[in-house]
Amino acid sequence: MPAIIAHGGAGRYSPDEEHERGLKDAVAAGWRILESGGSAIDAVEAAIVVLEDFPVFQAGFGSAMNLRGEIQTDASIMLDDLSCGAVAALTAAANPIKAARLVMEKTDHVLIVGEGADHLSRSYGLESRDLCSPERKETYDRMLAKLRAGEEVASYLPRLREVAADLSMGTVGAVAVDSDGRIAAGTSTGGPMLKLPGRVGDAAIIGAGTYVNGNGGVSATGVGEPIIKHIIAKKAIDLISHLGAREGIDTLMEYARINDVRLGIVAIEENEAIALGYTTDAMSWASMKDGELKTFLSTGIGVRKDDAGDKAETGDSSGKVLET
Ligand code: ASP
């Protein structure tokens, strides 16, 4: 039986009706493909494209800007036979997830960055777009002013972390299993606001932001650097392989809490069990399984809104873990 889950990022933000609408549309787009016998990889791409096109998420259109005010996006996609592709510091492609898929299907490589990634996208006719939304520009100007506070650029850098901690995140991702039992996952982001030019985050790193094998697939979100250092996506899959989706994610949340990794993760196990967890204030997701749509928005102030009813269980202090 097919299943799909999509997320709209973990961090400190307040998911609202727009996030909910975007996530529902994304899952519906993926589900239409799965329902008609389509592949997990097509469903994941379709879901992520919807989220990239939704300005409220910080991926594709509406991505956050780096310190210089430029947008550089990261994305990755993977299939259960370990085929995968990723792009980083991409500037113009409207849908970075499509560029990641190009790397996977049209090249012998795993990760292509910067100008090379832009060139590949253009060569294959991917749509280009100015990814800067007015809302994000307004946030950038405000945050830059706060960061600057009358000092020279070089002295901003030690304060980036402090300022950036206040910034909302909105990375997107999806995991799907199709009716042939194939599993795919993908992740796409503009990265954190005010990142240094050229910075690459976990969303572009196979094993950190995205991982899939025959046992399951995951997409992670949150603070990218610790997610890379702890190879979170691969760790999640290893835990799921041994413990199953729910207990695997539960154990991962305990590990993340102990090691101060602020993240969110969504997973599908090969038996179609869906699980997710987060150690941040906020996380948003939607899923579709057995024809049933569920959504969840954690507002970041401890208020929970979901359609999952009592089928969603809240975990303990080791990090919030839910299972559908
Ligand atoms: N993980 C992303 C990054 O660090 C950001 C996020 O998930 O919000 O680039």
Q: Which two tokens stand for residue 2?
A: 């097919």
Is the per-residue pLDDT at 133 higher than 50? Answer: yes
At 258-292, the pLDDT tens digits run 999 999 999 999 998 999 999 988 899 999 999 89
Quickly state the pLDDT bin for 145 (edges 50, 70, 90): confident
Q: Which two tokens stand for residue 155?
A: 């002295």
Is the per-residue pLDDT at 308 higher than 60? Answer: no
Is 6 in contact with 268 (CB distance < 8 Å)? no
Cα separation, 27 vs 50, in Å, equals: 9
pLDDT at 201: 96
Which has the minimum average pLDDT: 83-92, 98-107, 138-147, 209-218?
138-147
Residues in the chain: 324
Could you tell me the residue ranges of all domains in the chain? 1-9+29-231+252-264
| Pairing between β-strand 216-222 and β-strand 263-269 as defined by DSSP bridges | antiparallel
Report pTM.
0.92
Sign of the C-alpha dihedral computed for residues 90, 131, 56 and 272 taken in this order: negative
pLDDT at 166: 54
Q: How far is CA 87 from the centre of its chain?
A: 14
pLDDT at 150: 56
Q: Is there a catalytic annotation at residue 187?
A: no
Cβ of 171 less than 6 Å from ligand 1: yes
* Residue among 139, 171, 210, 251 flagged as catalytic: 171
Please name the residue ranges forming H helices in the chain.
Answer: 17-35, 40-53, 96-106, 114-123, 134-148, 160-164, 224-229, 232-243, 245-258
| Pairing between β-strand 3-11 and β-strand 304-306 as defined by DSSP bridges | unpaired
Q: In testing the pocket of ligand 1, which one of 221, 232, 281, 285 has its CB within 8 Å of the most ligand atoms?
A: 221
Cα separation, 203 vs 293, in Å, equals: 26
pLDDT at 73: 98
Q: Which atom of ligand 1 is nearest to the CA of 190?
A: 9
Q: Which two tokens stand for residue 32?
A: 């239409």
Give SS3 for 193: coil
Is 24 in contact with 287 (CB distance < 8 Å)? no
| 8-state DSSP, 154 | G
pLDDT at 161: 64
Is 239 in contact with 249 (CB distance < 8 Å)? yes
Going by alpha carbons, the residue nearest to atom 4 of ligand 1 is: 224
pLDDT at 306: 40
